[in-house]
Amino acid sequence: MRRLARTPVVLLLLALLLVASALLSTGFGAEQLPPSVVLEVLQAKLTGAAGSTLGSADAAYETIVWDLRVPRTLLAMVVGAGLALAGAGIQTLVRNPLADPYLLGVSSGASVGAVAVITTGVLGGVWALSVGALLGALVSAVLVFAVALGQGGLTPLRLVLTGTVLGSAFSAVASYLVFRSADPRAAESVLFWLLGSLGGAAWDRLPLPAVTVLPLGALLFVMSGWLDALAAGPETAAALGIPVRGLRRVLFAVFAVLVGVLVAVAGSIGFVGLILPHVARLLVGARHRRVLPVAAVAGAVFLVWVDVAARIAVRPVEIPLSVVTGIIGAPVFLLLMGRRRYRYGGAP
């Protein structure tokens, strides 16, 4: 019998990998920078001696590294971690290994919101699109919640069906808005929200996802024992004294906010929330107090490199993140699911 790796060891290795990835990935892009330049800029910025040690030629590097690449890497880490956490949690909520963070219809809701902002011109300013997307995501989540609840409760099957069906309806609405609109940005925008990108990363875009992912991730971790019980089944959870109905509602709200914010800043990025929880379970077993932190850090590392691939694959054009995650993710997922002893979905 294969023994599980020790969680602290796995976490330490992943954390080291994350730091290394953050430093290395910052050098990649349309302009290739050696790690020494990256370190130099970071050192200058972090020690407060801004620009003083850098020559005029390096000022451009400074802008690239500090204003573009570093916030982008940090955003990739936050979004990757958030998606992995949401994926792990939603797979438990609906007791389905094929569930991903967008199951609740949030991503198509976000694209409706964003397209509505573009085509109607309501809301102004640089944040208009993100706000529209966030509103669309939250409205769709509330609708899914209300319909599922009205039809008998947030049971796994009902959530999956309601989310899928309403998600398709929102997609249709978004397509209709694009079709009606003469604005080419509408189509572009839908593409962004359906395929994901970190191209809009900037320092002022970081706080919102950061203050969403960190506390909600911590909340999920705090509830990990209850999540374990819920994963074993609602009857078992009830017998163990878990308030199943209340827990499901809290989880739904957590995922709606978490995924809504992530979609608003980065669009929907496929496969991250689907695969990383499985990878974490393979490494450290099924208990949430181990799975959640491992999935989060692994998700951060994964998305950092996915974004690097998106930046350099077809230089100088950037490709959408879901294109990269799909190409990497599909075979990895099939490989994982094909392993004989890995059968999250139950008996063959």
Partner 1 sequence: MTKHLRADGVTCALGRRTVLRGVNLTVGHGETVGVVGPNGSGKSTLLRVLAGVLAPAAGRVLLDGEPLDQLPARRRAQLIALVGQEEELPGDLRVGELVALGRVPHQPPWSGGDAGERAAVLEALASVDLADAVDRPVDQLSGGERRRVLLARGLAQQAPLLILDEPTNHLDVRHQLALLELIRRLGRTVLLAMHDLNLAAGACDRVVLLHDGIARPAGRPGDVLSPDAVEEVFGVEAVPVTHPLTGETHLLFTPRRTARPTNRRTPRPATRQEPR
In whole angstroms, how close is the CB of 24 to partner 1 at the nearest point? 32
Q: Which one-letter amino acid corresponds to residue 96?
A: N
Would you count residue 179 as binding partner 1 (CB under 8 A)? no
Would you count residue 226 as binding partner 1 (CB under 8 A)? yes
Nearer to partner 1, 106 or 242 (CB): 242
In whole angstroms, how close is the CB of 294 to partner 1 at the nearest point? 13
205 and 251 in contact (C-beta within 8 Å)? no
Would you count residue 307 as binding partner 1 (CB under 8 A)? no
Nearer to partner 1, 35 or 243 (CB): 243
SS3 annotation, the chain: CCCCCCHHHHHHHHHHHHHHHHHHHCCCCCCCCCHHHHHHHHHHHHCCCCCCCCCHHHHHHHHHHHHHHHHHHHHHHHHHHHHHHHHHHHHHHCCCCCCCHHHHCHHHHHHHHHHHHHHHCCCCCCCHHHHHHHHHHHHHHHHHHHHHHHCCCCCHHHHHHHHHHHHHHHHHHHHHHHHHCCCHHHHHHHHHHHHCCCCCCCHHHCHHHHHHHHHHHHHHHHCHHHHHHHHCCHHHHHHCCCCHHHHHHHHHHHHHHHHHHHHHHHCCCCCHHHHHHHHHHHHHCCCHHHHHHHHHHHHHHHHHHHHHHHHHCECCECCCHHHHHHHHHHHHHHHHHHCCCCCCCCCC
Nearer to partner 1, 117 or 244 (CB): 244
- Please identify, among the stretches 64-72, 135-143, 241-249, 299-307, the one whose residues bind partner 1 according to the rule CB under 8 A: 241-249
Alpha carbons 60 and 319: distance in angstroms, whole number: 24
- The residue within the footprint of partner 1, chosen from 235, 317, 334, 338 (CB under 8 A), is 235
Would you count residue 333 as binding partner 1 (CB under 8 A)? no
Beta bridge partners of 317: 314
Q: Per CB under 8 A, which of residues 101..160 are in contact with partner 1?
A: none
In whole angstroms, how close is the CB of 210 to partner 1 at the nearest point? 22
Nearer to partner 1, 122 or 239 (CB): 239
In whole angstroms, how close is the CB of 244 to partner 1 at the nearest point? 9
Would you count residue 224 as binding partner 1 (CB under 8 A)? yes
- Please identify, among the stretches 31-39, 43-51, 266-274, 281-289, the one whose residues bind partner 1 according to the rule CB under 8 A: 281-289
- The residue within the footprint of partner 1, chosen from 123, 208, 286, 332 (CB under 8 A), is 286
Would you count residue 51 as binding partner 1 (CB under 8 A)? no
Would you count residue 225 as binding partner 1 (CB under 8 A)? yes
In whole angstroms, how close is the CB of 281 to partner 1 at the nearest point? 5
Alpha carbons 13 and 30: distance in angstroms, whole number: 30
With CB under 8 A as the rule, give the number of residues binding partner 1. 40
Would you count residue 232 as binding partner 1 (CB under 8 A)? yes
- Please identify, among the stretches 27-35, 127-135, 204-212, 216-224, the one whose residues bind partner 1 according to the rule CB under 8 A: 216-224
- The residue within the footprint of partner 1, chosen from 208, 289, 323, 332 (CB under 8 A), is 289
In whole angstroms, how close is the CB of 92 to partner 1 at the nearest point? 9
Alpha carbons 114 and 313: distance in angstroms, whole number: 27
Beta bridge partners of 314: 317
Would you count residue 184 as binding partner 1 (CB under 8 A)? no
In whole angstroms, how close is the CB of 87 to partner 1 at the nearest point? 15
- Which stretches of the chain bind partner 1, using CB under 8 A? 1, 3-4, 95, 97, 221-229, 231-236, 238-243, 281-282, 285-287, 289-290, 341-347
